[in-house]
Structure 1
Amino acid sequence: MATDQMAAPQAGDDKTMLLVDDDRPFVGRLARAMEQRGFEVRTAETVSEGLAALKTGAPAYAVVDLRLGLGNGLDVIEALRRQRPGARAVVLTGYGNIATAVNAVKLGAIDYLAKPADADEVIAALTRDPEIKAEPPENPMSADRIRWEHIQRIYEMCDRNVSETARRLSMHRRTLQRILAKRAPR
C-alpha cells in the first residue's frame, strides 16, 4: 500500500473519531492506537451510547462494530450519516457476509473490515480515496480460521453454552467440544 493512504489526517483536518464496539479490550487498544496517530477519540460500547455520543457532536470519522450486545451498529452509521453527511465510517465485524456489507455501504459506511483489524488497516480504509479500490489483504484468514472465528462468535452469543451453540450450528455437541478444545487455526 502507498504510504499516503496510511497517513493520519493532515494538520487542518477535523480528527474527531467515534469508536463503537462492545469488546472493551479491543476498543481500548484501537483507541490508544488512533490517539497516537493524532485522532481525538471517543468510545462507546452500545448502540445507545454511540447514539448519545453523536448527539454531543458528530465526528469526522467512525469505526463501528456491526453486532453489538443490545443492537446493530448500522443504527449508529445511519444516525451519523444523517447528522454529518461527509463523515467517513468503517464497519468492523468478526463475521461478515455480502448482504450486511451491502447494507452497511447503503447506510453510509465507506468500507467493511473483518476483525481483527489493526489501526493501520482502519486508517487506510478511512482515508482511502473513494476512486481507488482497496487492495486485497496480503495475509487473508484461512477458511479454517474463518470457520473457527464464526464458531467462537456463536459460542459467545450463546453465553458459552455448548449445547445451544451446537444446536444453532447444526453440529454434534461432541464435535463442537473438540473444536473448542483446540487452538485457533492460522
Structure 2
Amino acid sequence: MTTPLPHLVIVEDDPAFGRTLRRSFERRGYEVLLATSPEELEQLLTHTAFHYAVVDLKLGTASGLTCVQMLHEKDPDTNIVVLTGFASIATAVEAIKLGAAHYLAKPANTDDIEDAFNRREGNAAVPVEGRKTSIKTVEWEYIHTTLAECNFNISEAARRLGMHRRTLARKLEKQQVK
C-alpha cells in the first residue's frame, strides 16, 4: 500500500513562476494543482482539500488574502505560505489573521517555502533588529495599512489617503524600496 502524496495548491498569476514552483514541488513528492485567481481556487476547493498552499499576495487586480481566507475556511489545518514582492507589515498581519502560517518576501525558492511549511511554531530567539526606516518605506507601510483597512478596495483607500486612484494604483505596482 502506497502512502498518498501530500496535496499542494499554488495560487500564482505569473505562469512561468507557477510552472517552476509546480515542477520543483512535484520532484519533492507533492501532488500539485495550480490556480491563477481566487475564482480558479474556488473551483479547485469544490472537489479537493489541500495539505499545503502557496499563495501570491498580488494576483493581478485581486488580493491573495481572499485565497488565504477561502483555504482556511475550507480546512483550518491547511498549511498556507503567502509569497509577495510587496511585503508590508499590514499585509503580513492580515495574512496571519486570516490563517496563513508564514509570509515570505520574494524571491523565495522551494527550500524557503518547504522550510516555512515545516515551521508551524514561532521562534522567540529571532533577533529584533533596529533597522532604519526610509520615508519611502514608511509611506509603503501606511498605504498598505490603509489598503488593508479598506478590504483592498483601491478606490476607497485612495479616497482615505487623499490621492487619485490611478496614482495609488501606480504606487502599488512599484516594488518596495529597500
Q: Sort the TM-score into its range (normalised by shorter chain).
A: 0.5 to 0.7
Q: Is this contact kept in 1: 2:101–2:120, CA < 8 A?
A: no
Equivalent positions of 1:140-179 (< 5 A) are: 168-169=170-171
Alpha-carbon distance between aligned partners in 2 of 1:38 and 1:12, rounded to the nearest angstrom: 11
Q: 2:115 is matched by which residue type in structure 1?
A: A
- Evaluate the alpha carbon distance shift between residue 15 and residue 111 of structure 1 in structure 2; reply closer, same or farther with a 3 A threshold: same
Alpha-carbon distance between aligned partners in 2 of 1:14 and 1:133, rounded to the nearest angstrom: 32
Equivalent positions of 1:115-126 (< 5 A) are: 115-126=106-117
Match of 2:37 in 1: 46
Alpha-carbon distance between aligned partners in 2 of 1:13 and 1:121, rounded to the nearest angstrom: 24
Structure 1 residue 82: Cα displacement: 1.0
Q: Is this contact kept in 2: 1:60–1:86, CA < 8 A?
A: yes
Match of 1:85 in 2: 76
3-state DSSP class of the match of 2:107?
A: coil
Structure 1 residue 168: Cα displacement: 4.0
Alpha-carbon distance between aligned partners in 1 of 2:125 and 2:111, rounded to the nearest angstrom: 13
Q: 1:55 is matched by which residue type in structure 2?
A: T
Does 2:11 align with 1:20?
yes
Q: 2:98 is matched by which residue type in structure 1?
A: L
Alpha-carbon distance between aligned partners in 1 of 2:5 and 2:16, rounded to the nearest angstrom: 26
Structure 1 residue 133: Cα displacement: 5.8
Alpha-carbon distance between aligned partners in 2 of 1:44 and 1:26, rounded to the nearest angstrom: 12
Alpha-carbon distance between aligned partners in 1 of 2:124 and 2:96, rounded to the nearest angstrom: 14
Percent identity over paired residues: 41
Q: Is this contact kept in 2: 1:61–1:87, CA < 8 A?
A: yes
Q: 2:99 is matched by which residue type in structure 1?
A: G
Q: CA RMSD in A?
A: 3.2
Q: How many residues align?
A: 140
Match of 1:29 in 2: 20
Structure 2: any 5+ residue segments left out of the alignment? 128-132, 141-165, 172-178
Match of 1:96 in 2: 87
Q: Is this contact kept in 1: 2:8–2:32, CA < 8 A?
A: yes
Structure 1 residue 129: Cα displacement: 3.7
Q: Give me the TM-score of the superposition, normalised by structure 2.
A: 0.68
Q: 1:59 is matched by which residue type in structure 2?
A: F
Q: Give me the TM-score of the superposition, normalised by structure 1.
A: 0.65
Deviations 1:14-40 (A, max 9, x none): 610000000000010000000000000
Q: 1:73 is matched by which residue type in structure 2?
A: G
Alpha-carbon distance between aligned partners in 2 of 1:134 and 1:113, rounded to the nearest angstrom: 18
Query: Structure 1 stretch 70-79 or stretch 118-127: which is displaced more?
Result: 70-79
Structure 1 residue 83: Cα displacement: 1.0
Q: Is this contact kept in 2: 1:22–1:69, CA < 8 A?
A: yes
